[in-house]
Chain A
Amino acid sequence: MRVIDLAVKDWRQLLRDRQTVFFMAAMPILFTLFFGLIFGSAGGETDPRLPVAVISADSSSSLSGSLLSLLEASEAVRPVVEEGVSAEEAGQWVRDARYAAALFVPAGFGGTVEHLAEGKAERLASNGTIAGDEAMQATLIVDRSTPAGQTAASAIETAVTRLLSAAQIARLATEAFEASVPFEDQAVRQAFHHQALASASEAWREPPISVAVEQAWAAGEDEQSQPNAFAQSSPGMIIQFTIHGLMMTAMILVLERKTGALQRLLPTTMTRTQIIAAKVLGSFVTVFAQQALLVLVGQFAFGVDYLREPVATLAVMAALSLWVTSLGLLIGALARTEEHVHTWSLVAMFFFSALGGAWFPLEYTGKAFNTIGHLTPAAWALDGFQNIVMRGLGLQSVLLPVGIVVAYAVVFFGLAVWRFRFE
């Protein structure tokens, strides 16, 4: 009971401090809005598909245009047309995770496809190339060892297959028409063929029948879970400002030590373990309540669908609260003055927010930064949130991030207890 009384006292002190309440509640909401506007141009939706660089030297061909159109219709990849890029540069982009894949379309590619459609055997090479005419093969640069690479390759192969199919349909349609009504001349025949090709390609953009793919271990995305710009900024700011919230935990500890109140607790028959437990409880509930508020604001004000997987969201929130509480306890144990708490808390907040991807998606930063970022628990906590709100995944997808964040919490807590001082 006294553990709860001591925790309640901490909450009461915290709520009396208007500046702290402002920083814990209002500031993260404002920053979520600010970063959301930056990421999503006035709150518009972002494109969550994997970016694929398309470097085309066959711009005059309508078939190359159809390929681009089919890729744009893909639910998995988002084509980004790049120009004047060498294979080395494109390869580097893929290695840096800037693009999931890079597709080189050579001059004459469209002609090759038409040639294939006229009856020559086509072949989709398993080594990452799309082979047709040896001289006109398109080249796909992709890392098939990554899920993103596999998804991108699969989507591009599908688009190329559809392109070939559309070309064949156009050829068959032209020949069938020609058998019944001969064309006046070659130009009319060509125009008919182009029209048939365009119609077949368009038909592939939205096939009338498709197979709905559902992951066995995660709920698929539904309309409401389509991520928006706030799906990056909301969890990012939750992480940044819960880390900022640890300042209050540490500050209360330092002030209690400075006034002697912490030491005064010892002759009251409370044990040291009970006192530390009360401090942990007070901080945990504070950070958790702060997150709950920000999650609800994210859900209902910014349309970030945390509640589509409530158990997974709660698991990430609890793990993040544990880690932030442990870090706050550690800073409170080590700091001797209020200035120490201010400085160290801000350093912790900026360090973990920047490296953890709270300000910008780690996917945009390249492989090295991404790897370094994932040495921090902040990045894993963010992964947990984003698996839910951006990737449409479920409880199983957050188990690893939650486990890693909890492991960090245990380490930080051990250090804090080891260094804890009452005077």
Chain B
Amino acid sequence: MRDGTAIRIRDLHKDFGDVQAVRGIDLDVYEGEIFSLLGPNGAGKPTTINMLSCLLEPTQGEAWVMGHSIRTDSMAVKEAIGVVPQETALYPDLSARENLTFWGKMYGLRGAALRQRVDQVLETIGLTERQKGRVDKFSGGMKRRLNIGIGLLPRPQVLFLDEPTVGIDPQSRRNILDQVKEFNRQGMTILYTTHYMEEAQELSDHIAIMDYGKLIACGTHEELVKIVGELDRIELTINAKSERVLAGWQATQGVHEVSAEDSKITLLVDDSNVVLPRLFEAAVGAGVRITAVEVQEPNLEAVFLHLTDRALRD
């Protein structure tokens, strides 16, 4: 069943009443890799993780983690995984060490083994010096690191990280990304969900893009970028939204996709050097002023835009 596969998902569905949160996913995550689920809010990423963690029963389909069925062998699945939820699921009135000790006990650790593991995890997440501090006095980044530390306690073969960098400062984010790479270097398979394209791009061996509960693309970063070919991505900011200028740009030679969000317009074009002057010309003709221009090489944002006609928003 495994063949080097850490996670295998087949036709996985989850419905909440009339809402189809996950609508038929097929996926393979290989042992020792970092696999990112990338998608906007509401794409179904946490629901997928919750099914893989045996927190939710699938409506249809099946998945195996380290060869164990999430439907029939949930205890074995739980013993193989560590879960880091998006929420900082901590006890704020306990210290960092007390939190880790408590969760260690919940994972079945006891005595000297528990103390040793807590010490190791505190060292790994860089909180040894603050181990006695109450968590409600911690910064957002420290809480995130402690949140991750709890997921590491059972020495999981597979670690699920659900949006671990939401709402923290750039320095803490950098720290967490470096830690994730380190966990992976130590042999841990990581399933990482995010809606930050740069994180998925930096970390992942493979990336699956999700939208509205479906997998719309999957592959390495290079494979995904090839979907949009050699298209450049141009982001323009204009002084006032105008249907006339949007129509003009849509009709401009070399433009493939146009998407607008208020005064920010995103375009996929053949060659930005050639197309940009034409865009300025059309704007002048429509009486619109361009106030900012940003040009990017092909990336995951462009892939998402290409596949969904929508920007992958934060």
Question: Which A residues are closer than 8 A to B by beta carbons?
Answer: 1-2, 5-6, 9, 12-13, 16-17, 259-261, 263-270, 422
Q: How large is the interface on B (under 10, 10 to 19, 20 to 34, 35 or more residues)?
A: 20 to 34
Closest-by-CB residue of A relative to B102 is A9
Report B-chain residues with C-beta under 8 Å of the C-beta of A5: 102, 105-106
Contacts of A9 in B (CB 8 A): 91, 94, 102
Q: In the complex, what distance in Å separates the CA atom of A60 from the CA atom of B268?
A: 115
- Known contacts: A2-B105, A259-B88. The answer to whether A266 contacts B55 by CB under 8 A is yes
On chain A, the residues within 8 Å of B98 by CB distance are: 12
Known contacts A2-B105, A2-B108, A5-B102; is-contact A267 B89 (Cβ 8 Å): no
Q: Taking A260-B85, A267-B83, A269-B79 as contacts, is the C-beta distance between A16 and B93 under 8 angstroms? A: yes
**Chain B 219-263 interface residues, beta-carbon cutoff 8 Å to A:** none
The yes or no answer to B212 lying at the interface (CB within 8 A) is: no
| Contacting residues of chain B (37-58) with chain A, CB-CB under 8 angstroms | 53-55
Partner of A263, one of B85, B92, B102: B85
- Among A12, A259, A270, which residue has its beta carbon within 8 angstroms of that of B106? A270
CB distance from A269 to the nearest CB of B (A): 5
Chain A residue numbers with a CB within 8 Å of B274 are none
Report which of B88, B91, B94, B106 forms a contact with A268, defined as CB distance below 8 A. B106
Could you tell me the distance between the alpha carbons of A266 and B105 in the complex, rounded to whole angstroms? Answer: 14
Shortest CB–CB separation between residue A266 and chain B, in angstroms?
5
The total of Cβ contacts below 8 Å across the A-B interface reads 64
The chain B residues found within 8 Å of chain A, CB to CB, are 53-55, 75, 78-79, 81, 83, 85-94, 98, 102-103, 105-108, 110, 150, 154
Select which of A6, A13, A17, A263 is within 8 A of B89 by beta carbon: A263
CB distance from A254 to the nearest CB of B (A): 13
Question: Are A267's CB and B78's CB within 8 A?
Answer: yes
Contacts of B91 in A (CB 8 A): 9, 13, 259, 261
CB pairs A–B below 8 angstroms (13 shown)? A6-B106, A9-B91, A9-B102, A259-B91, A259-B92, A260-B88, A263-B85, A264-B83, A266-B53, A267-B54, A267-B81, A268-B107, A270-B106
Taken together as a complex, chains A and B put the C-alpha atoms of A16 and B79 apart, in Å, by 32
Q: Name the distance in Å between A274's Cβ and chain B's nearest Cβ.
A: 10
Is the Cβ of A267 less than 8 Å from the Cβ of B55? yes
B81: A residues at CB distance < 8 A: 267
Q: B residues within 8 A CB of A6?
A: 106
Bound CA–CA A270/B79 (angstroms):
11
B93 and A2: CB pair below 8 A? no
Q: Quick check: B78 and A268 within 8 Å, CB to CB? A: yes
| Chain A: minimal CB distance from B140 (Å) | 14
List, in ascending order, chain B residues with CB within 8 A of A260's CB.
85-89
Apart from A1-B110, A260-B85, list 16 A-B contacts with CB within 8 A.
Answer: A5-B102, A5-B106, A6-B106, A13-B94, A16-B93, A16-B94, A259-B92, A260-B87, A260-B88, A260-B89, A263-B55, A264-B89, A264-B103, A264-B150, A269-B107, A270-B106
Q: Given the known A-B contacts A5-B102, A13-B94, are A266 and B87 also in contact in the complex, defined by CB atoms under 8 Å? A: no
B76 shortest CB reach to chain A, Å:
9
